[in-house]
Amino acid sequence: MKIGFIGLGNMGAPMAANLARDHAVTGFDPAATPPGLTLAKTAKEAVQDADVVITMLPDGAILRAVADDIHKAMKPGAVHLDCSTVDVDSARAVATAATAQGLQAIDAPVSGGIGGATNGTLTFMAGGPLPAFEAVKPLFAIMGQKAVHCGAAGNGQAAKICNNMILGVTMIATCEAFALADKLGLDRQAMFDVVSTSSGASWSMNTYCPAPGIGPTSPADNGYKPGFAAELMLKDLRLSQQAAETADADTPLGQAATTLYARFVETENGRGRDFSAMLPRFANRQRS
């Protein structure tokens, strides 16, 4: 399969490298030139004659601009597979634009972080026509360990932001609980042993525990160096609240989590730290 890959940052570069082991991949990124990949001088050059064009971009505005640039250069029937995490409206607008150009489109944001991109263990949440999903399924198998078809265009983004809204809320609750346990004199290991096997169990506790030295190895054991940066969690939470506003959905916990992560990232030196670094943040605070 001939693949064009636009957006070769921390996530895109390893994803493209994994694909390049089995397929002809031409990449483009105006800000990055990772070694080991065939690189084009322009986005249009990267997509010429490609069967599938993958984009991994920072936000919806950039995605729309890139789509406007490349769709007319793509061959009829090719698939635009967007793996960015963007707003639902942008995903649906790009899908509509692709269809108007005789192309197929899938929005498939990912979960799994840089480690998942490097190791080929990402999870893809895909929205768009089933035939297009089936066409790119072999690529999902190379880049990840699971791909779920979530329905129509934009539903991949919907699944991603709903999932990460849950993740942001549960991580805050987990960190609050550890901070409370500390002040009540409850040993962190005892706390983990109880909660991880009881009704309070969650991915944030059991798999990605924010307390250093407790549970499986996580960024907490590496000085909170990001596996998933707090500013990326904030981006996803803001997307969830943007979608909630559009859909007229009441999401008070999602809104509260967005406010807390905004404070953490923008005024409390949380930028550049893992999103689980909320634990030392709470541990160092008194009740207000």
CA 250 to chain centre: 23
Task: Show the tokens assigned to 72.
Answer: 């007319």
152-171: string of b/e by CB count within 10 Å (b at 16+)?
A: ebbbbbbbbbbbbbbbbbbb
Determine the average pLDDT of the residues in 239-268: 97
pLDDT at residue 122, as a whole number: 97
Separation of alpha carbons 127 and 150, rounded Å: 5
Domains of the chain: 2-152 (3.40.50.720), 158-284 (1.10.1040.10)
- Measuring CA to CA, how many Å separate 155 from each of 26, 61, 250? 28, 18, 19
Q: Is 283 exposed, middle or buried (0-12, 13-18, 19+ CB in 10 A)?
A: middle
Residue type, 137: K
**pLDDT band at residue 149, thresholds of 50, 70 and 90?**
very high
Per-residue pLDDT tens over the stretch 84-105: 999 999 999 999 999 999 999 9
Provide mean pLDDT across the span 236-240: 97
DSSP E strand boundaries for the chain: 2-6, 24-28, 38-39, 52-55, 79-82, 104-107, 110-111, 122-126, 144-149
pLDDT at 225: 96
Q: pLDDT value at position 59?
A: 96
Which pLDDT belongs to residue 288?
83
Rounded Cα–Cα distance for residues 55 and 105 (Å):
11
Nearest CA among 60, 121, 53, 39 for reference residue 81:
53
Rg, the chain, Cα only: 20
Closest-CA residue to 175 (of 204, 145, 140): 204
Calculate mean pLDDT across residues 230-253: 97
Confidence of residue 205 (pLDDT cuts 50, 70, 90): very high
Is 160 one of the catalytic residues?
yes
Among the options 75, 160, 225, 235, which is catalytic?
160
Looking at residue 113, its pLDDT comes to 86
pLDDT band for position 23 (cuts 50, 70, 90): very high
- At 33-44, the pLDDT tens digits run 899 899 999 999
pLDDT tens-digit series, residues 110-132: 998 888 999 999 999 999 999 99
DSSP state of 75: P
pLDDT in tens, 151-189: 999 999 999 999 999 999 999 999 999 999 999 999 999
Which pair of structure tokens corresponds to residue 130? 């089933």
Mean residue pLDDT across the chain? 97
224 pLDDT tier (thresholds 50, 70, 90): very high
